[in-house]
Structure formats: C-alpha cells, structure tokens
Amino acid sequence: MSMPDPQELDRPAPRPPDRTPARAYRAPAPRLRDRILPLLYPLPGGESATARSLLGVAFGLALVLLALAGVVAPFVVPDAVRQWSPASAQSVTDAGQLSPGSIFRDCRDESCPWLVVLPPGRFVMGSAAGEAEPKPDEGPQHEVAIAAKIAVMQHEVTRGQFAAFVKETKYQIKAACSTLTGKGFAVDPKGAWNSVGFTQTDQHPVVCVDWNDARAYALWLSQRTGRNYRLLSEAEWEYAARAGSQTPYAFGDRANEICSYGNVADRSLKDALKELLKGWVFADCSDGNVYTASVKSFKANAFGLYDMLGNAWEWTEDCYHGNYSNAPGDGSAWVDGNCSQRILRGGGWDDDPYKARSANRFGSAPGGRGSGVGFRLARTLP
C-alpha cells in the first residue's frame, strides 16, 4: 500500500462543474464623443468623403437661410410686429409683481414709453388754506386713497413717440393751435403737433394735442401692447405730482426754486420775449429754456417722475368741477356732470410758477389745442 502524496492532501477538492447558462457578451455602447469625432475628422476613404461633403452642404444651407432671414424678413414682416416685440418676460407678464419705484416698458422700440411703478397710498388732495389766492376749485381738501399700485409714464409723451403713432395710424389732426405768433399768443390756423411755432426735437414733449388726440394715442398703445394705457384721473395725477409731499410743490414751497425741477416762464423766456409778453409773471430764476425743454432735463420727484410740474400741461380724464364737494375719494376719475371741459394739470413752459403747483387745476375744452399742452399716460397693473 502506497502512502498518499502529502501535496495531494493539501489540494482543495475539485469544484463541481458550473451548470448556470453563460450570459451573452454585450459590448458597451460607444460614447457620443466616439460617434461624433469620426464625422468631424473622417479617415481618408470614399465613405468619409461623402460624410464630409454632406456636412459641408448642410452648413452652407444653414448660412443661406440665416442670410435670407436677415435680408428678406425686414421687408416681409409688418412694421407693427418688428417695432412692438415684447421687451422681456418680466415687463410683459409680471409687471403687477414689480415693486414701487421699478421702471419697465411693454415694448422694445425706441418710441416705447418707460413707466414707473407708483405705490398705493393716501394723500390729501387740494391746496391748504393760504397756499393759493382765492381759488375755490382747489378745495375743500379731502383725503384720497389710491388702493393699488399704478404705472405712470416716467415723462410726458414726446414728440418722437407721438410721431410714431401718427406714422403708423395715419392719424389726422385738424390744424389750429394756440401758440406764439408775431403778436403774442393767438390761434395759428396752421399750428399742429409738428408745427408748434418754435423749434422742438423728438425729445421734447408733444404739444398742440387735444384731449381726443391723447385718448387716441392711448388706445393705439393699448392695442399695440395688449395692456391698458389711459389718461390719469385727476386724483392720480395729483398723487403722482405730490409724491408724498404736502407743500405747494413737490420740492417745497419756494416758487423760485422751481428752475431746478421744472421748465416754466423763467428769466430765459423773459429775456427772449419780454416785448411780446408784457405784464406776464416770471419765475425769478433761470431754467435755461425759452420754450419746451427735452423731457428729463430737470430733477425727478420722489416717485421718480419727471416734469410733472412745468414743461407741458397734461390732460387728465376728469371733467371740470368748480370745487371738490362730493368728489370721489378712491382715486377714480370724476366724469359725471358737465364734461364740456376736461382737466389740465401741472402748468407749462409759458406759465408762472403759481400755475405749476401740485394742486393747481385748469378746465379746457377737450378739443382745444395749445403749444403749452401735452399729456402723459398711466398703465393699469393687473
């Protein structure tokens, strides 16, 4: 009997054969990079050359399409679509969420107006005792509550903005505007928004426009943007002009400081036209402008609004009432009663500072036009 080999004893017992079926081998999917690189850098050969030429054709076609879009589209797409593309998602859809003081607009073209978001608030409308000479239409003082934020144009509608409206709509304005003539102020039968009797640029406030013209512009802007543009109510206008102040002017009570804040009948006008304007009252300061000034030439008020006082009078929605008895207290427009006159606010370049007080009001026939009269609009926030 032979002895077992000691090495055999140390070996493990043989394992039983594996009966589980073998899995089919699966090659890993090639990486995206490995698929694209051969296309971009093909090896020499017939197939590679075909791929390369196909890529070249596709690239060329893309370039041609881009060029066509840039050259042909401007002649095909209507003016309205090109000019009124939305400014941004925020300004178009979320304006109601903007905080007070925010500035936005609903379109992108040069003539699209900028708006300032005003906070809701309460204020005392009308002038305090002693502020005005007997002027019963500025009283009685009463509290007005503006319940919701509103957006108000940062400055008066400019001549350039109004020109865009006239050009697109072919809007016709009957000529005749009260303006400076060689004999002083008189109705010029040929006077119109683009012929006001003195030199203006597109940055000056549009003047020689009546209440109906202002409403027509608002309707057009509303249709263009899909938003509600409108004249301010008289109460909204005074709230915007006061910007939290209760003094005669948003900047205080000293009339002769107005030359830093607004364009009125000042020494510049006096020096230029004193022969024509004998007996007029002028501010004892110089704002540097004989006629209208470019909008935003002066300091803004605390709400960030320019030229509320001076430069051009501004049409509001309200009908004229001789005093504030029974006036609405919620900031809405007061449009019952006698509407043969609509309210103008703020004074103009040819007025003494007294007329540029926040509380001052003036009733004018809605069809009247003057070279000191323009407008601005509000936009209702959702």
Q: Least distance to Ca ion from the beta carbon of 251, Å? A: 14
Binding mask 278-317 for Ca ion (x = CB under 5 A): ---------x-x-----------------x---xx-----
3-state secondary structure of 141: coil
Omega of the bond prior to 205 within 30 degrees of 0, cis? no
Minimum distance, C-beta of residue 305 to Ca ion, in the bound complex (Å): 9
Restricted to residues 252-271, the positions that interact with Ca ion (CB under 5 A) are 263, 266
Q: What are phi and psi of 71, to 5 degrees?
A: -90, -40
Residues whose CB is less than 8 angstroms from the CB of residue 314 and which lie 6 or more positions away in sequence, other chains included: 156, 232, 237, 308, 344, 345, 346, 374, 375, 376
Q: Please, which residue, 106 or 287, has the CB nearer to Ca ion?
A: 287
Please tell me the count of residues contacting Ca ion according to CB under 5 A.
8
Is 138 among the residues that bind Ca ion (CB under 5 A)? Answer: no
* Residue among 151 and 240 whose Cβ is closer to Ca ion: 240
Query: Which of these segments, 92-100, 193-201, 206-214, 341-349, binds Ca ion (CB under 5 A)?
Result: 341-349
Least distance in Å: CB of 99 to Ca ion?
25
For the bound state, the minimum distance from the C-beta of residue 104 to Ca ion, rounded and expressed in Å, comes to 21
Q: Is 154 in the site for Ca ion (CB under 5 A)?
A: no
- Compute CA 113 distance to the chain's CA centroid, rounded to the nearest angstrom: 3
H-helix or E-strand containing 73?
Answer: helix 46-76
Q: Which is nearer to Ca ion, 91 or 268 (CB)?
A: 268
Judged by beta carbon, residue 82 or residue 274, the one nearer Ca ion is: 274
C-alpha atoms less than 13 angstroms from C-alpha of 309 in its C-beta half-sphere: 34
The residue among 225 and 292 lying less far from Ca ion, judged by its C-beta, is 292
* Residue 346 lies near Ca ion (rule: CB under 5 A): yes
Nearer to Ca ion, 289 or 360 (CB): 289
Buried b (16+ CB within 10 A) or exposed e, 152-169: bbbbbbbbbbbebbbeee
* Minimum distance from residue 189 beta carbon to Ca ion (Å): 26
Q: Taking Cα atoms as reference points, which of 178, 146, 172, 209 lies closest to residue 380?
A: 146
Residue matched to tokens 């890993």: 28
**Residue 112 · residue 85 · CB < 8 Å:** no
Query: What residues line the site for Ca ion (CB under 5 A)?
Result: 263, 266, 287, 289, 307, 311-312, 346
